[in-house]
């Protein structure tokens, strides 16, 4: 694991790590947010140009924590997340290969330890990029947007119990047990797992090519195809007369949806199914990466 810790230390010093986090921040800053009063989509940037903090408090959907959450629900973020989480790790590993430093790490760590450490690094780097970005985004939204104190008691109750903590959700239980700190910790855990899941595809693409641009962009196209397939599954099942109800097919699609893990504690109605599926996916990806890297000598050219 010494090699893994070495990679993570180098990651935090790499410019690509900060570029990825800044890119995610800019993406959320300009992503549209539904604004109830005018039935028009505004970005945070647009809202800052047109509304004061007091004026924002007239709309419950502009509460700081609600805006923090809305970033991760947007189509822009879900489409570009595979690119964002892969930039830093792919660049660092590409530099390692091009400089020949991999031979030193391979000799020092041993083949299997090197490959396992490399696979874990790809996954953890993706989680760290989104975790660091989400911390910055959370600080920004907390400082720039109205908090609960700007709303009436009735509005505050609506925000907490209907928007942030839907009845029956795990997030509701966490709120009653530990309040907002526990909710935020749970959400950071969701984001970290989500980053790991999104970076797994890029890790597998490294087995096929060393072109870092293909490695970064291929998961983007795979993600788009998967999203479209999950949205069409209930309707395809009905058209083909598959012996499952549309609700059952929709539940299957929601479980397989890569976006499900980022709402694991809030909207997921199949918590254990989604969690086990995503963790199993990560383990399978690590196993494939290590096996093929070891057998084919992927780093020994």
The three-state DSSP-derived secondary structure of the chain is CHHHHHHHHHHHHCHHHHHHHHHHHHHHHCCEEEECCCCEEEEHHHHHHHCCHHHHCCCHHHCHHHHHHHHHHCHHHHHHHHHHHHHHHHHHHHHHHHHCHHHHHHHHHCHHHHHHHHHHHHHHHHHHHHHHHHHHHHHHHHHHCCCHHHCCHHHHHHHHHHHHCCCCCHHHHHHHHHHHHHHHHHHHHHHHHHHHHHHHHHHHHCCCCCCHHHHHHHHHHHHHHHHHHHHHHHHHHHHCCCCCCHHHHHHHHHHHCHHHHHHCCCCCCCHHHHHHHHHHHHHHHHHHHHHHHHHHCCCCC
Q: Is the pLDDT of residue 88 over 70?
A: yes
Quote the pLDDT of residue 97.
84
Rounded Cα gap, residues 209 and 9, in angstroms:
25
Q: Once rounded to an integer, what is the mean pLDDT over residues 146-167?
A: 76
Q: Is the pLDDT of residue 84 over 60?
A: yes
With a pLDDT cut of 90, the percent of the chain lying above it is 13
Measured in whole angstroms, how far is the alpha carbon of residue 69 from the centre of its chain? 12
- Higher-pLDDT residue of 203, 100: 203
Q: Which of 126-130, 239-243, 255-259 has the lowest mean pLDDT?
A: 239-243
User: Encoding tokens for residue 180?
Assistant: 């907002």
Q: Which of 89-93, 124-128, 297-301 has the lowest mean pLDDT?
A: 297-301
- Positive or negative: CA dihedral 61, 64, 70, 71: positive
- Residues 11-50 pLDDT 10s: 998 898 999 988 888 888 877 766 555 566 777 877 777 7
**Which residue, 113, 132, 144, 156, is CA-closest to 51?**
144
Polymer length in residues for the chain: 301
Rounded Cα gap, residues 61 and 90, in angstroms:
37
Query: Cα–Cα distances in Å, from 87 out to 81, 217, 229, 279?
Result: 10, 10, 26, 22
């Amino acid at each position: 694991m010494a090699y893994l810790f070495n990679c993570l230390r180098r990651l935090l010093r790499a410019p690509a790590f900060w570029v990825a986090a800044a890119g995610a921040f800019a993406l959320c800053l300009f992503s549209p947010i539904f604004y109830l009063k005018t039935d028009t989509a505004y970005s945070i940037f647009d809202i800052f140009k047109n509304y004061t903090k007091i004026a924002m408090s007239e709309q419950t959907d502009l509460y700081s924590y609600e805006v923090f959450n809305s970033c991760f629900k947007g189509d822009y973020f879900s489409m570009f997340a595979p690119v964002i989480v892969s930039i830093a790790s792919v660049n660092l590993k590409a530099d390692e290969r091009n400089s020949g430093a991999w031979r030193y790490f391979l000799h020092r760590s041993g083949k299997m330890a090197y490959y396992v450490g490399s696979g874990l690094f790809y996954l953890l780097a993706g989680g760290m990029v989104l975790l660091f970005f989400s911390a910055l985004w959370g600080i920004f939204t907390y400082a720039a947007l109205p908090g609960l104190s700007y709303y009436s008691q009735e509005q505050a109750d609506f925000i907490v119990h209907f928007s942030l903590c839907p009845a029956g959700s795990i997030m509701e239980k966490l709120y009653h047990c530990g309040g907002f700190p526990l909710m935020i910790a749970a959400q950071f855990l969701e984001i970290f797992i989500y980053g790991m899941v999104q970076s797994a595809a890029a890790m597998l693409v490294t087995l096929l090519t060393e072109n870092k641009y293909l490695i970064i962009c291929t998961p983007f196209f795979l993600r788009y195809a998967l999203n479209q397939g999950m949205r069409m599954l209930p309707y395809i099942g009905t058209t083909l007369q598959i012996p499952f109800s549309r609700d059952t097919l929709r539940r299957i699609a929601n479980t397989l949806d890569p976006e499900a893990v980022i709402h694991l504690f809030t909207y997921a109605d199949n918590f254990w199914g989604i969690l086990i599926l995503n963790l199993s996916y990560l383990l399978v990806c690590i196993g494939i990466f290590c096996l093929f890297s070891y057998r084919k000598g992927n780093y020994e050219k």
